[in-house]
Amino acid sequence: MSIEATLAKSTVEAIKSLYGAEFNEEKIQLQKTRKEFEGDFTLVVFPFLQLSKKRPEETAQEIGEYLKANQPAISSFNVVKGFLNIAISPSYWIELLKKIDSTEKWGTTAVTEESPLVMVEYSSPNTNKPLHLGHIRNNLLGYALSNIIAANGNKVVKTNIVNDRGIHICKSMLAWQKWGNGETPASSGKKGDHLIGDYYVAFDKHYKAELNELMEKGMTKEEAEAASPLMAEAREMLVKWEAGDKEVRALWEKMNNWVYEGFDETYKRLGVDFDKIYYESDTYLIGKETVLSGLEQGKFYRREDGSVWADLTENGLDEKLLLRSDGTSVYMTQDIGTAQLRFRDYPIDKMVYVVGNEQNYHFQVLSLLLDRLGFSWGKGLVHFSYGMVELPEGKMKSREGTVVDADDLMDEMIRTARETSEELGGKLKDMPEEEKAEISRIIGLGALKYFMLKVDARKNMLFNPKESIDFNGNTGPFIQYTYARTRSIERKADEAGIDIAKASAPAAISEKECGIIRMLNEFPNVVKQVGTDYSPSGIANYAYELAKEYNQFYHDFSILREENDDVKAFRILLTRNVGRVIKTAMNLLGIEVPERM
């Protein structure tokens, strides 16, 4: 039982004993004591005044005296108006530290056969371009969220839906056909996803030139777009693809395979993975069949041009296109098919989509359409909506080739980590080259991931690579360095033959040490709360606060040089568990921590 639960239970007993009344334990208001007051927890007394029939201060004093007399964990208390500030005894914190130390995977909940199954969709790349900075945030959020949901005792299936068909894919294919001259990843020395991305940019370049030429002849922009021969070819290619044209399908398969090899390399480097990958080329027909079935049942309607629509005006929305006039599918149709296939494959209790906030309306509509089609799980889907990533230079555009490539960014982060480490007094000095490279990789990617995840996911963010690699402040390297410090102390303690298991508890511990144990004790609640809120930033900020508190303790107190053996052993035990919890928290975020830096 946590100390909060213990205090709540004791408070209920106090009210019954003092005032002869029952009180619901769940309604006890217990908070962390504010820093300007003395104590660990604060009990709000105002809800008890109707039972005590006394002033707030008097009621708080009586309850405080009862708790101190009957609860051994309490060392003292003080009253501030209607608030009872309670101090917990050092002996309690020491015993709690031992409990934390003896609990495997402290802060997380084990998965059982009865655990709910949550599917998390993230990444969702297009096979017409490589992964970029926006994809990095998506992947990191999805992977961290999956870890956090699993840490709360849920079975998790990490899934990816690859956008491998559609007009945008045909643009890259057509451009390669026209201007590729048979170029391949092998002949060019480029990753497959980069190569195909170049042709997506090439299509847009030629398309814009074509529009300008048509507009110079007197056409409006809209007329030029409608008359564009290049776009007409791309649309024709999409129709052929959907009709199963052998040549188009063969080209599509060849180019997509180049892209998948490139994606796999990037995912591996980024440290994310998937349990199941779906492809829109497999799901769009299921969606199409479902939409046509809904049309027959009168749930949708067909316009004069042959397109199929859903009327959602009664739900406060507008009308939504489901099939184009030429019979081809749109994203919504594909998502309907994908959702069906997933629930056919897995007994999913909850479906979480990690998709940017520009798609908020899309998921409102998807939820309504799935519900209208009779799928009970439609209304329960969760859209984990996150903000966009921008650079100091502004927004990115894939078709114009102005995106920040994921591979290039990771290279830059690792290179910067190496340079920064060497500038700071040669932190990597005396290490073998292989270890220097590995630690630089861990620090560089840790800096990138932490900078992305410490921000509230719902907010747009400005990513500045230079700010993210700093060994001081709220950064990944600062937390990683703190972990490496705890491991260094543990190694030195082992080398000195210090057996902390045999040491007796010290007679007293400082407020700073109590505070760190209190933070370690809060970790399970933090994990639970961020799981409820879908908020990876809560884990990031907890890890930072713990690292900051420990570093202040490290600078203010002796550990290995402490003369009292019991105090020394206690501080090493405290250090070990700070390291353990930091490692667990960072691992939940998908961030590695080095054993030394």
pLDDT tens digits along 157-193? 999 999 998 899 999 999 999 999 999 999 999 999 9
User: What are the backbone dihedrals phi and psi of residue 461, each rounded to the nearest 5 degrees, phi first?
Assistant: -135, 150
Mean pLDDT calculated for residue range 219-244: 94
Record the tokens describing residue 398, joined without a space. Answer: 């894939």
Residue 399 has pLDDT above 60, yes or no: no
> How far is the C-alpha of 292 from the C-alpha of 299, rounded, in Å?
10
pLDDT of residue 396: 41
pLDDT band at 473 (very low <50, low <70, confident <90, very high): confident
Residue 377 has a pLDDT of: 77
- The pLDDT tens digits of the residues spanning 277-286 come to 999 999 988 9
CATH 1.10.730.10 fits 406-588, yes or no: yes
Two tokens at 435? Answer: 């270890």
On the question of pLDDT at 397 being above 50, the answer is no
pTM confidence score: 0.89
Mean per-residue pLDDT over the chain, rounded: 92
The mean pLDDT of 197-224, rounded to a whole number, is 94
Q: What is the pLDDT of residue 146?
A: 98
CATH topology of domain 3-88: Gyrase A; domain 2 (3.30.1360)
Mean pLDDT of 100-118: 95
Per-residue b/e over 364-399, b at no fewer than 16 CB within 10 Å?
ebbbbbbbbbebebbeebebbbbbebeeeeeebebb
Q: What is the pLDDT of residue 197?
A: 94
Inform me whether the pLDDT recorded for 236 exceeds 50.
Answer: yes
Give pLDDT, residue 337: 93
Q: Which residue has the tokens 């003896």?
A: 102
Q: Which two tokens stand for residue 526?
A: 């933090």
Q: Tell me the average pLDDT across 480-495.
A: 96
User: Among the residues of 424-535, which ranges form H helices?
Assistant: 433-453, 465-468, 476-495, 511-533
pLDDT value at position 268? 97
pLDDT at 344 over 70: yes
pLDDT above 50: residue 550: yes
pLDDT at 2 over 80: no
pLDDT beyond 90 at 375: no
Edge-to-edge strand ranges of the sheet holding 276-279: 276-279, 155-162, 117-121, 350-356, 382-386
pLDDT digits (tens, 9 = 90+) for 517-537: 989 999 999 999 999 999 999
Query: For position 462, what pLDDT does the model report?
Result: 86
Torsion (CA) 106, 111, 117, 123 in degrees, nearest 10: 50
Q: Which of 107-121, 327-341, 457-471 has the lowest mean pLDDT?
A: 457-471
Equal fold, 3-88 vs 406-588: no
CB contact at 8 A, 384 and 148: no
How do the domains of the chain map onto residue ranges? 3-88, 166-274, 277-345, 406-588
Q: How confident is the model at residue 206 (pLDDT cuts 50, 70, 90)?
A: very high
pLDDT average, residue stretch 579-597: 96
pLDDT reading at 419 higher than 90: no
Segment 507-517 mean pLDDT: 89
